[in-house]
With several copies, the nearest count.
Chain A
Amino acid sequence: MAQLLNDPAEAVPDALRGMAACHPDLHVDLENRVVRRAGGPRPGKVGLVSGGGSGHEPLHAGFVGHGMLDAACCGAVFTSPVPDQVLAATKAVDSGAGVLHVVKNYTGDVLNFRMAAEEADEEDVRVETVLVDDDVAVTDSTWTAGRRGTGATLFVEKVVGAAAEEGLELAELAALGREVVSRSRSFGVALTACTTPGSDRPGFDLAAGEMEVGIGIHGEPGRERVPLAPAREVARTSVTAIADDMPLDGEVLLMVNGMGGTPLLELYVLAADVRAAVEERGGRVVRALVGNYVTSLEMQGSMVSVCRLDERLTRWWDAPVQTPALRWGR
């Protein structure tokens, strides 16, 4: 629970000040807690807005920039942003071509983004929404809140972001985003819990030698507590859960994501085993990303995310991106 903060209640605005201090390419609207590209909306380009609770950094603000998001709305830690923030971001990035909301499937995110979209509609900004619900740990059903949006959010933001730069229209981008979602699955485990700033204890207590499997990205416990397993088994459990839900044949993009506090050394150990497990299932890993990208504060653990690529998706994945956390091609 050792945290490098000033006032825990001000962690989010303080961090946004840090982003402003270190990324001249970004414009940080401290009042609305919205991070945008410094340049403003490019005429004719659909605006891409995402956001959610803070504590998942670099998601989302770290993905604002050329080839990815136009704006990110930063809620309190693990709490979706409010409609006012989303509306402000939406209006700021609309060039007239409309705005796509990329929303992780949580009741709070869904409701707050939906209210903002309705208000935007009243102000004549066209909005479409892509819901990300890639987490196979949760059994899907129309009677429940459905699956959580987790690692695949990065895939959607990257691919749709690249397509938006190419000039695709709002409806096309929404369809593309939904296609990425339908081709993506994730599964996570926690080796330690995390503590929300201002809280006096972690979200759960794990004894030495235990782990939580089937976790989300909000420091919540998972579907099950089991004995700590070697990386090889974590890989097998994760890939099996994914493959049981979506066949893994063909070319895939693989993300071996750390939950925030897991060192890269361990993530690479896991990555070797995950790749082997994916290939055992018939998948061919043609693109891979290893690192802490979609996180739960200082939690140790991993999330395996897979996206089944096709030629278009691969091209958009490879397209130039220039954000604080993901950058290549320019």
Chain B
Amino acid sequence: MSAVGGTALDADAARAWVRRFAELVQESAVELTDLDRPIGDSDHGVNLRRGAVAVLAALDGPDAPATAADVLRAAGTTLVSTVGGASGPLYGTALRRVGKALVGVDAAGGPELARALRAGVDAVVRLGGAEVGDATMVDALLPAVEALEREVAAGTALPEAVGAAVRAAQEGAESTDALVARKGRASYLGERSAGHRDPGAVSSVLLLRALADALGGPA
């Protein structure tokens, strides 16, 4: 069972987060692939679903990871090993970095969680080289972690702080509608990429929403 009322991210909450992300991805797989069709190669949902199935399998079984850090590192490693494409290494490395930042932390409160998420998002930026405005998942992830940092600094309770991060992610994803992509496959289309929402930004909203759901109480 998860930690009481979402005051911190412990091993159970981490498991719930990853599980919920896998669920949301499976529910939205067709939508994500459809978003990837006009500006990409029609596989984002297919890729993430493959990863979601593998992650769920990795969470169970005899060698199931025991700490929040291990849960997230295992999930990340599984994504890297099964998703492929651009999103596999990016999401996979991000979760590994989040996990790494939580090593030794039994139950991460707001500051620890914000620091861990920042480490994950930094990894995405470092690997992919994208900035806000390039029409990628960074457009959702970076505003989300900034919102979380802001709210945590302001002393907002964790569930509410994460709620703000979800909203920031959602707004960031919406902002990609108008953008001409500069990274990812959409960039190959030049001006034609404008007018489409970035699929990776949308799946990033799911990642944040899954965290909010996990912290909102027992899954």
Residues of A within 8 A of B (CB): 53, 75-84, 106-108, 111-112, 115, 137-139, 143-145, 148, 196, 198-199, 203-204, 216, 218-221, 223-224
Tell yes or no: B58 within 8 A of A by CB: no
Q: Which DSSP category, helix, strand, loop or mixed, fits chain B's interface?
A: helix
Whole-angstrom distance between the alpha carbons of A224 and B188 in the complex?
11
Q: List 5 A-B contacts (CB under 8 A).
A: A53-B41, A77-B43, A82-B84, A138-B190, A145-B187
* Chain A residues near B82 (CB-CB < 8 A): 82
Contacts A138-B190, A221-B192 known; 8 new A-B pairs at CB < 8 A: A53-B85, A75-B84, A83-B89, A145-B183, A145-B187, A196-B42, A196-B46, A203-B41
CB-CB under 8 A for A108 and B86, given A83-B81, A221-B192: yes
Shortest C-beta distance, A109 to chain B (Å), equals 9
Contact partner of B83 among A82, A143, A203, CB < 8 A?
A82
Measured CB to CB, the nearest residue on chain A to B40 is A220
Tell yes or no: B127 within 8 A of A by CB: yes
Residues of B within 8 A of A (CB): 33, 37-43, 46-47, 50, 80-90, 93, 127-128, 182-185, 187-190, 192
Q: Which DSSP category, helix, strand, loop or mixed, fits chain A's interface?
A: loop
* Chain A residues near B80 (CB-CB < 8 A): 82-83, 115
Whole-angstrom distance between the alpha carbons of A300 and B128 in the complex?
32
Interface Cβ pair total, 8 Å cutoff: 109
* Chain B residues near A112 (CB-CB < 8 A): 84-85, 88-89
Measured CB to CB, the nearest residue on chain B to A194 is B42
Shortest C-beta distance, A105 to chain B (Å), equals 11
Shortest C-beta distance, A168 to chain B (Å), equals 30
* Chain A residues near B42 (CB-CB < 8 A): 78, 196, 199, 203, 219
* Chain A residues near B41 (CB-CB < 8 A): 53, 78-79, 196, 203, 218-220
Whole-angstrom distance between the alpha carbons of A84 and B80 in the complex?
9
The 4 closest A-B pairs by CB, nearest first: A111-B89, A108-B85, A218-B41, A107-B86
* Chain B residues near A144 (CB-CB < 8 A): 182-183, 187
Whole-angstrom distance between the alpha carbons of A199 and B49 in the complex?
14
CB-CB under 8 A for A76 and B47, given A107-B128, A203-B41, A221-B38: yes
Q: Are B47 and A79 in contact (CB under 8 A)?
A: yes
Q: Are B84 and A79 in contact (CB under 8 A)?
A: yes
Q: Are B43 and A107 in contact (CB under 8 A)?
A: no
* Chain A residues near B46 (CB-CB < 8 A): 76, 79, 196, 198
* Chain B residues near A79 (CB-CB < 8 A): 41, 43, 46-47, 84-85
Q: Are A111 and B43 in contact (CB under 8 A)?
A: no
* Chain B residues near A198 (CB-CB < 8 A): 46
* Chain A residues near B84 (CB-CB < 8 A): 53, 75-76, 79-82, 108, 112
* Chain B residues near A53 (CB-CB < 8 A): 41, 84-85
Whole-angstrom distance between the alpha carbons of A278 and B84 in the complex?
36
Q: Are B188 and A138 in contact (CB under 8 A)?
A: yes
* Chain B residues near A76 (CB-CB < 8 A): 43, 46-47, 50, 84
* Chain B residues near A115 (CB-CB < 8 A): 80, 89, 93
Whole-angstrom distance between the alpha carbons of A149 and B34 in the complex?
24
Shortest C-beta distance, A296 to chain B (Å), equals 9
* Chain B residues near A108 (CB-CB < 8 A): 84-89
Shortest C-beta distance, A177 to chain B (Å), equals 23
Shortest C-beta distance, B88 to chain A (Å), equals 6
Q: Are B81 and A82 in contact (CB under 8 A)?
A: yes
Contact partner of B183 among A83, A107, A216, CB < 8 A?
A107
Whole-angstrom distance between the alpha carbons of A223 and B192 in the complex?
7
Shortest C-beta distance, B189 to chain A (Å), equals 7
Whole-angstrom distance between the alpha carbons of A107 and B93 in the complex?
14
Whole-angstrom distance between the alpha carbons of A15 and B191 in the complex?
36
Whole-angstrom distance between the alpha carbons of A144 and B42 in the complex?
20
